[in-house]
Amino acid sequence: ELDLANRYVDLVEEGFDVAIRAGPLRDSTLIAQKLGQTQRVLVASPDYLARRGVPETAAALAEHDCILFGPWSAKATWTLVGAGDREAEGRVKVAVGGRLSVNHLLAVRHGALAGFGIALLPADWIDGDVAAGKLRQVLPGYRTPAVALSAVYPSRKLVATTVRVFVDFLKQRFADGGVRPVFDGG
């Protein structure tokens, strides 16, 4: 069974065999296998940018519709770091808002493709959309801080073969091509 819940599940209590977690791990009783890391970049559809304009600075994001990921809210704070020659600028925090808030990154991607606003998406996920002209990178000098991705499971003892094979598949998938969505048909 595949559960695409976008919440922090209790693997033992809820009977999950394995989970993919982004960021620092809270539960030290779990076994963790590092899969890689990811950073998100700012993107929007050409249609949205034609209607609303292209932001020239990180602060200008506050004047745009942003597609929010996470708890239902019309407001969020995005933390960005400079890329390349902007690295020395350090972290920038920007209060953003928008009309669309969703709880799954695939929905964020589809919202961006549909022109609902500027989105923060994993860089590996949007390479094809950018190459095809469906999305354009916004403020390419900025990205989010890197976040570790890990597969976690309850115990090293009695690990089911299916869990071991699945974790090995994920490790190979991330090694071969980053964090592209495994289950996205679009």
Q: Residues 50-76: pLDDT tens digits?
A: 999 999 999 999 999 999 987 667 789
For position 107, what pLDDT does the model report? Answer: 92
H helix and E strand count, the chain: 5, 10
DSSP secondary structure code for residue 13 in this structure: H
Q: Residues 7-29: pLDDT tens digits?
A: 777 888 888 888 888 888 876 77
Q: Are 151 and 167 in contact (CB under 8 A)?
A: yes
What is the Cα 127 distance to its own chain's centre? 13
User: What pTM value is reported for the model?
Assistant: 0.79
